[in-house]
């Protein structure tokens, strides 16, 4: 039994503060006591210090928040961020499919996966729901690297039997490889599996039906795909599935819509599909930087909230342009206000942590730094840049948090901890420029 404690300002938002304002928990001078990687106790330093007088306490400068949970990201697209010039379908053909073909090589997959996971840690992200490629070995490469870093990750082989040459499986190979991967990885360390049809346009009806059957046979795994991202894509789905009521219905008829389903984007949802998402408890991973980059549109928070949809936040690298969940939260605010909605900074923090964790069905383990949860956290630095320092001087907590979301990025992550151990620490900041 190893106990240790960190003394710092601590903030978490365990539930949507629109419904539960009391879910915002803030200790200006807090103590986080950890035993064997699990939060044992958390509270005001003044209240806990005596009880834990025998435990070694490390003071941390900065604001501790739960490790970020990225609810939708593609690791094989890491090296294709910032590919110029196309909207979704052309961008996939021109930039993404060629890059994904290289993941047939396990050594390449492992190399990119290692870089990718380190980049997550550098950005304060400790958990994620990740797309690999169609190749079984791309999943092995990712999970092996995640296991070595003790990260809590969910992923699963991409199903795409209508994909281009070199990125195409079959119903049978997709099923066999998915089953083998579930056996190999589900529940190993902190890893989980997600059945992952790429999107409705990349699989035959037979493969979508088989994915639904596989999901029904494995109540322990998630389903992860894309939904209603781009108008050209939506038109193509309507042409392919003329009998479907809308895009969501094209999945629903194959048993792919339920409480374990995570749909990325949902930028253009029908009222009918919102009602269906709400009834089934399926979640949406909102990906604002990707939506801006591909010109897909702005997520409609007003519509989602009228239907009480379960939401999380994702970067969607490499259509997304940043690994930073702080920056992604800031862009979610900008997407909301473009439609005359508002996104409160505490709610944005909830979406980036416990909200995304709930979509991944890991909210009992991570996302709020509550006693009994795994001690994954990140340390935010309000003074990371001269501008941030000036903007947050003497500011309220809400103002500091919002400034971090609008002005912050990887520079504002002072350190990232996995199960109580420091997994990444920012190198010392450069000195202030000298003035004459």
Question: What is the helix (H) or strand (E) element at residue 189, kind and residue range?
Answer: none
Contact mark string toward ligand GUN, 268..307, x via CB under 6 A: ----------------------x-----------------
Residue 316 as a binder of Zn ion (CB under 5 A): the answer is: yes
By C-beta, is 88 or 256 nearer to ligand GUN? 88
By C-beta, is 4 or 268 nearer to ligand GUN? 268
Q: How many residues bind ligand GUN (CB under 6 A)?
A: 11
| Residue 124 φ/ψ region, left for φ over 0, alpha for ψ in the -120 to 50 degree band, beta for the rest | left
What CA–CA distance (Å, rounded) separates 316 from 26?
30
What CA–CA distance (Å, rounded) separates 307 from 276?
9
By C-beta, is 226 or 310 nearer to ligand GUN? 226
- Shortest-Cβ-distance residue relative to Zn ion: 316
DSSP letter for each residue of 192-238: EEEEEE--GGGS-HHHHHHHHHHHHH-TTSEEEEEES--HHHHHHHH
Cβ 316 to ligand GUN shortest distance, Å: 5
Binding positions for ligand GUN, 161-200, rule CB under 6 A: 198-199
Contact mark string toward ligand GUN, 66..105, x via CB under 6 A: --------x-------------x---x---x---------
Residue 5 as a binder of ligand GUN (CB under 6 A): the answer is: no
Contact mark string toward ligand GUN, 311..340, x via CB under 6 A: -----x--x---------------------
Binding positions for Zn ion, 256-275, rule CB under 5 A: 264
Q: Per the structure block, which two tokens stand in for 114?
A: 């290692």
Cβ 100 to ligand GUN shortest distance, Å: 8
Cβ 233 to Zn ion shortest distance, Å: 12
Cβ 317 to Zn ion shortest distance, Å: 8
Binding positions for ligand GUN, 229-268, rule CB under 6 A: 229
Residue 226 as a binder of ligand GUN (CB under 6 A): the answer is: yes
> What is the per-residue burial (b if ≥16 Cβ within 10 Å, else e) of 319-350?
bbbbbbbbbbbbbbbebbeeeebebbbbbbbb
By C-beta, is 5 or 88 nearer to ligand GUN? 88
Cβ 88 to ligand GUN shortest distance, Å: 6
Cβ 153 to ligand GUN shortest distance, Å: 18
Residues 6+ apart with CB under 8 A from 30: 7, 8, 9, 10, 42, 43, 44, 45, 64
Cβ 412 to Zn ion shortest distance, Å: 25
DSSP letter for each residue of 291-321: HHHTT-----HHHHHHTT-EEEE---BTTB-
413 closest CA partner among 43, 118, 35, 74: 118
Residue 100 as a binder of Zn ion (CB under 5 A): the answer is: no
Q: Which residue is it, tokens 């980049």?
A: 119
By C-beta, is 42 or 198 nearer to ligand GUN? 198
As to burial, measured by CB atoms within 10 angstroms (0-12 exposed, 13-18 middle, 19+ buried), residue 83 is middle
By C-beta, is 122 or 198 nearer to ligand GUN? 198
By C-beta, is 75 or 199 nearer to ligand GUN? 199
267 closest CA partner among 222, 205, 309, 214: 309
Other beta carbons within 10 angstroms of residue 219's beta carbon come to 8
By C-beta, is 315 or 405 nearer to ligand GUN? 315
Beta bridge partners of 47: none
User: CA separation (Å) from 377 to 115, 138, 249, 349, 390?
Assistant: 20, 27, 38, 13, 25
Q: Contact positions toward Zn ion, by CB under 5 A?
A: 264, 316
Q: Contact positions toward ligand GUN, by CB under 6 A?
A: 74, 88, 92, 96, 198-199, 226, 229, 290, 316, 319
């Amino acid at each position: 039994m190893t106990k240790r404690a960190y003394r710092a300002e601590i903030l978490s938002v365990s539930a949507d503060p629109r419904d539960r304002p009391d879910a915002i928990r803030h200790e200006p001078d807090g103590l986080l006591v950890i035993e064997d990687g699990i939060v044992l106790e958390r509270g005001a330093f003044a209240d806990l210090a005596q009880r834990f007088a025998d435990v070694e306490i490390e003071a941390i400068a900065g604001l501790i928040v739960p490790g970020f949970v990225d609810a939708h990201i593609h690791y094989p697209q890491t090296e294709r961020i910032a590919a110029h010039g196309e909207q979704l379908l052309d961008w996939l053909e021109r930039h993404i499919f060629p890059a994904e073909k290289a993941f047939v090589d396990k050594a390449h997959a492992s190399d990119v996966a290692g870089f990718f996971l380190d980049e997550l840690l550098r950005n304060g992200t400790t958990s994620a729901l990740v797309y690999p490629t169609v190749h079984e070995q791309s999943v092995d490469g990712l999970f092996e690297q995640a296991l070595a870093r003790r990260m809590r990750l969910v992923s699963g082989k991409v199903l795409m039997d209508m994909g281009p040459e070199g990125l195409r499986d079959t119903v049978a190979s997709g099923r066999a490889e998915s089953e083998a991967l579930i056996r190999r990885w589900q529940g190993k360390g902190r890893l989980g599996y997600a059945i992952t049809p790429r999107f409705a346009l990349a699989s035959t009806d037979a493969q979508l039906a088989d994915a639904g059957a596989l999901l029904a046979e494995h109540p322990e795994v998630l389903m992860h795909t894309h939904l209603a991202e781009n108008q050209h894509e939506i038109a193509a789905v309507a042409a392919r599935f003329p009998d479907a009521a809308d895009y969501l219905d094209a999945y629903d008829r194959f048993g792919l819509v339920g409480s374990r389903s995570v749909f990325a984007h949902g930028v253009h949802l029908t009222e009918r599909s919102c009602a269906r998402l709400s009834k089934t408890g399926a979640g949406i991973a909102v990906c604002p930087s990707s939506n801006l980059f591909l010109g897909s549109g702005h997520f409609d928070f007003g519509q989602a909230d009228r239907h009480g949809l379960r939401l999380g936040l994702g970067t969607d690298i490499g259509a997304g342009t940043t690994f930073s969940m702080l920056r992604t939260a800031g862009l979610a605010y900008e997407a909301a206000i473009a439609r005359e909605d508002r996104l409160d900074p505490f709610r944005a923090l909830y979406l980036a942590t416990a909200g995304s964790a709930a979509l991944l069905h890991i909210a009992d383990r991570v996302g709020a730094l509550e006693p009994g949860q795994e001690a994954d956290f990140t340390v935010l630095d309000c003074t990371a840049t001269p501008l941030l320092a000036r903007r947050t001087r003497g500011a309220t907590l809400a103002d500091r948090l919002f400034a971090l979301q609008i002005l912050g990025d990887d520079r504002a992550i002072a350190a990232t901890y996995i199960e109580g151990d420091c997994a990444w620490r920012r190198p010392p900041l450069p000195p202030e420029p000298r003035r004459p």
